Structure 1
Amino acid sequence: MINLFFEKQSARIEAGELVSYKVNDHEYIHQKGNPGWRNSDTEMFPIIGPTAEANFRVKTPKGMAVQDQHGLLREMEYTLVSSTTNSVVFKKEYKAGTAIKNSKFPAKSSQEFLQWPYDFEFNKTFKLSSDGLEVNFVIKGEQEMPFMLGYHPAFNLVTEKPVIITRDKKITLDEVLAVGSRAYEVENCNKIQLKDKNTIAIKTEGFGSFMLWTEVKNMICIEPITFYPYAVAQEKLHEGFTRLKNEKAVFKMFISIGK
């Protein structure tokens, strides 16, 4: 477990997962064991979205990849790279074609093992500063490797009628609940405010859009994404790929309170 501190902020990281972010002792992150979701954050890589209707296959320039919902990265373990009092870096490394055990098999998937036809290194950094909490992702790999990236943090809700605010609309919790498992799409957006007991501002670089998801009223996932997977049939999920340029891509998310 890694504990980060900066002024009146604290964050706790367990095996690369953000399990706590507090400002003035108020907890902003959904706690494991509470209704809604068994995690507090995770990543969606190298694909976003379900794949069962496509027999768990996703087309790539190097052939079919075997991928379950939201990709194989979440089935791998982070290793600690470095840490300070206010920052920490983790990474995952993958060798092309390596079989990764699928935790959803056999209860929720017919695929016991997953694989991807490209090498990659995935770095995740947390940093506290006067601006708030910054979460960075650096993807390294073969130039032109196709991929999607989504970050999936869950936030506590403590009032009855929280509101999500974008540059051109206000979205209620009931509207997000009505969409269900598909998740509510917020297109072409790099800033969202969550107005609850306190206001959280979430800004991103590199992603482009968001998905909003919850099935309960005590939490909401505000997820920056490079592609909304329900825009296409699962057999055409490859149409949403981004290509890796210059062997590295950087994505950022900033969480600030009261802004």
Structure 2
Amino acid sequence: MNTTISNSTLSASIKHSGAELYSLKDNNNKEYIWEGNPDFWGKHSPVLFPIVGTLKNNTYTIEGKEYQLPRHGFARDMEFQLVEKTENRAVFSLKSDAETLKKYPFEFELQLIYTLNDASLDIEYKVINNSESKMPFSIGAHPAIALPENFENYSFEFEKEEVLKYYLLENDLISNNTKVLETSNNLVPLNYKLFENDALIFKNLESNSLTILENSAPYIKVDFEDFPSLGIWTKEQAPFICIEPWLGYSDTAENSGDLFEKEGILVLDAGHTFNSKFSIKIL
């Protein structure tokens, strides 16, 4: 099943499977979200929960008991319920059940709230801890922005001038090796060589937004004030770029395995609710 919301400027379509955004069009019918061609990457904009990235040996522990989770968790592969719908807003809900408790021993509700405001799509995450104990989790976004022109015709600009230090992955885990992303007049020209070692992972950015430019003209802006970490990723010759606001990231090789001790993890008190949101603005 799918749900579409719209306003006078944009329309957005969301799959109930994974509550995944798969289309964002303007009123000229121009598409801004990657089509999901499996020859490159078969997704569009999955939600990453209850982890972001990869666990060491795909395993973690809670109070000494081992559990397993796949890369980026399980929410993106589960069916969400549509619990609220207006013309320009839709709320999707995923609740813990017997299957999720085998992989993640916490009672939770995850809501994804999509709202169109003028030329922006706001995507809000609401995490509710229905357990009687503290709940460790990460959450992140993975929207793939369609790039219809030649990849090298695009560049991006961070909100602030800063040293753009990113971490390299080794065997899908965060290594201690870093590089600095070179800029020219605060612009980063896109080329596929940037991603030959997988995603660029920024643990702590000063910038709260990033603008993609097409032929030097502003194209899309992603605002991520609530997310200190960011991944940027594409695949060789793929006509998209993923701008991924994160709260959390992959394990390091030194990680103890205890989810409460994981670098970048969030911990939510029993009965409490966590909120964060980012937005995609068409320019």
Report the TM range for the smaller structure's normalisation.
0.7 to 0.9
Q: Which amino acid aligns with 1:192?
A: L
Q: Does 1:129 align with 2:117?
A: yes
- 1:172 and 2:174 aligned: no
Task: Confirm whether residue 193 of structure 1 aligns to residue 211 of structure 2.
Answer: yes
Question: Aligned to 2:276, which of 251, 254, 259?
Answer: 251
2:49 is aligned, of 32, 45, 49, to: 45
Q: Which runs of 5+ in 2 are unaligned?
A: 162-185
Q: Secondary structure at the match of 2:197?
A: helix
Q: Distance in 2 between matches of 1:62 and 1:128?
A: 44
Q: CA separation in 2, counterparts of 1:75 and 1:62?
A: 27
1:146 aligned residue: 136
Structure 1 residues 25, 203: closer, same or farther in 2, change over 3 A?
same
Who is 1:206 aligned against? 226
Pairing 1:1-259 to 2, within 5 Å after superposition: 1-15=2-16, 16-23=19-26, 24-33=28-37, 35-51=39-55, 53-54=56-57, 56-61=58-63, 63-95=65-97, 98-100=98-100, 115-141=103-129, 142=131, 144-160=134-150, 161=152, 162-166=154-158, 167-168=160-161, 169-174=186-191, 175-180=193-198, 183-186=199-202, 187-188=204-205, 189-196=207-214, 199-215=219-235, 216-229=237-250, 231-233=252-254, 236=257, 238-245=262-269, 247-258=272-283
Fraction of identical pairs, as percent = 26
> Structure 2: how far apart are the matches of 1:75 and 1:30?
18
Structure 1 runs (4+) greater than 4 angstroms displaced: 230-237
**Distance (whole Å) between structure 2 residues aligned to residue 178 and residue 86 of structure 1:** 39
User: Which sits farther off after the overlay, 58-67 or 201-210?
Assistant: 58-67
Letter in 2 for 1:8: T
Aligned to 1:110: none
Q: How big is the alpha-carbon RMSD for the aligned residues of Structure 1 and Structure 2?
A: 2.3
Distance in 2 separating the partners of 1:229 and 1:48: 6
The one-letter code matched in structure 1 to 2:24 is Y
SS at match of 2:196: helix
Give CA-to-partner distance per residue, 1:158-178, whole Å, 9 cap, x none.
232211211224333325422
Corresponding residue pairs, total: 240
Deviations 1:37-68 (A, max 9, x none): 101111111111123x52x2113357333211
Contact 2:157/2:188, CA 8 A, preserved across alignment: yes
Compute the TM-score of the two structures, normalised by the length of structure 1: 0.83
Deviation of 1:151 (Å): 0.8
**CA-to-partner distance for each residue in 1:61-111, whole Å, 9 max, x for gaps?**
57333211111222321011011111100000004xx335xxxxxxxxxxx
CA shift for structure 1 position 240:
2.7
- Which residue type is aligned with residue 68 of structure 2? V
C-alpha separation in 2, matches of 1:43 and 1:90: 12
TM-score, with structure 2 as normaliser: 0.77
Q: CA distance change for structure 1 residues 34 and 69 in 2, over 3 Å: closer, same or farther?
A: closer
SS at match of 1:240: coil
